[in-house]
């Protein structure tokens, strides 16, 4: 007789369906956005122009300084310790492997982002509008992608490794930080809004696919250990 786990979807199967569906949806949206942007030769969409104009007309010295601090926290070497911390918290058995995994997730994700950015080849907004330095192609936003991937790794680590009353607050912090980094890129005038959206979508696809890989490996390990029954007594 077929095992009940195969006949009746349970938590394990739902745990696979959710990230799979999320990855597919995000991948479709990212592909549509990237292809459409290439077809437009990188020209901004109306929503890009509106968001850019709003940022230019609502800049203040203090707000710009805050945006610079937020934006610099979401790129380069500043994010790798956070990714390592998330991996360390998520891996309960061998902590150093978890830390290395967190760094690898972020580093490989950045490589994927660079490849996609070169393929789309989208120019940034006019440099005269920039309130901070920037380089490279615009879509997907590097700061946005990096901070979003880091936020996911941190959130998973906190969910698995932190207990107590502070846990709900700590779970919200990485996501809010990543949103802030993405918003700062538009506010500082160095990215179009759709560059930021593409960065979030890419991070969603990348982390969801890796989540599926982790689930598949765990399922295979449990089967090899004989902890998942393949038959049920008749």
Lowest mean pLDDT among 65-69, 114-118, 206-210: 206-210
The Cα–Cα gap between 107 and 96 comes to: 16
Q: Does 233 fall in a domain?
A: no
3-state SS, one letter per residue, for 205-219: HHHHHHHHHHHHHHH
Q: Does 231 fall in a domain?
A: no
Containing domain of residue 175, as a range?
Answer: 4-225
What is the structure's pLDDT at 5? 44
Q: What is the pLDDT of residues 157-182, one digit of tens each?
A: 999 888 888 889 999 999 999 999 99
Question: Which pLDDT band, with edges at 50, 70 and 90, does 1 fall under?
Answer: very low
Q: Does 88 fall in a domain?
A: yes
Q: Does 108 fall in a domain?
A: yes
Average pLDDT, the chain: 88
Q: Does 144 fall in a domain?
A: yes
Say which residue the tokens 């309960």 belong to.
92
Overall pTM surpassing 0.75 (yes/no): yes
Number of domains the chain contains: 1
Return the CATH number at 131.
1.20.144
Q: Does 104 fall in a domain?
A: yes
Say which residue the tokens 């949206």 belong to.
29
């Amino acid at each position: 007789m077929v095992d009940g786990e195969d006949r009746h979807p349970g938590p394990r199967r739902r745990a696979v369906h959710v990230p799979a569906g999320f990855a597919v949806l995000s991948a479709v949206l990212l592909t549509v956005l990237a292809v459409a942007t290439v077809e437009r030769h990188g020209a901004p969409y109306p929503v890009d122009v509106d968001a850019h104009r709003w940022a230019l007309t609502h800049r203040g010295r203090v707000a710009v300084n805050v945006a610079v601090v937020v934006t610099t926290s979401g790129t380069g070497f500043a994010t790798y310790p956070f990714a390592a911390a998330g991996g360390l918290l998520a891996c309960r058995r061998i902590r150093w492997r978890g830390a290395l995994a967190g760094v690898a997730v972020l580093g490989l994700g950045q490589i994927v982002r660079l490849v996609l950015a070169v393929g789309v080849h989208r120019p940034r907004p006019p440099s005269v509008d920039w309130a901070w330095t920037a380089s490279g192609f615009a879509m997907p936003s590097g700061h946005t992608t990096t901070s979003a991937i880091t936020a996911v790794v941190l959130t998973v680590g906190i969910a698995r490794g932190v207990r107590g009353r502070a846990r709900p607050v700590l779970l919200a912090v990485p996501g809010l930080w990543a949103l802030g980094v993405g918003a700062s890129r538009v506010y500082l005038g160095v990215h179009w809004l759709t560059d930021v959206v593409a960065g979030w979508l890419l991070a969603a696809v990348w982390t969801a696919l890796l989540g599926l890989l982790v689930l598949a490996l765990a399922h295979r390990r449990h089967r090899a250990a004989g902890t998942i029954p393949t038959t049920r007594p008749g």
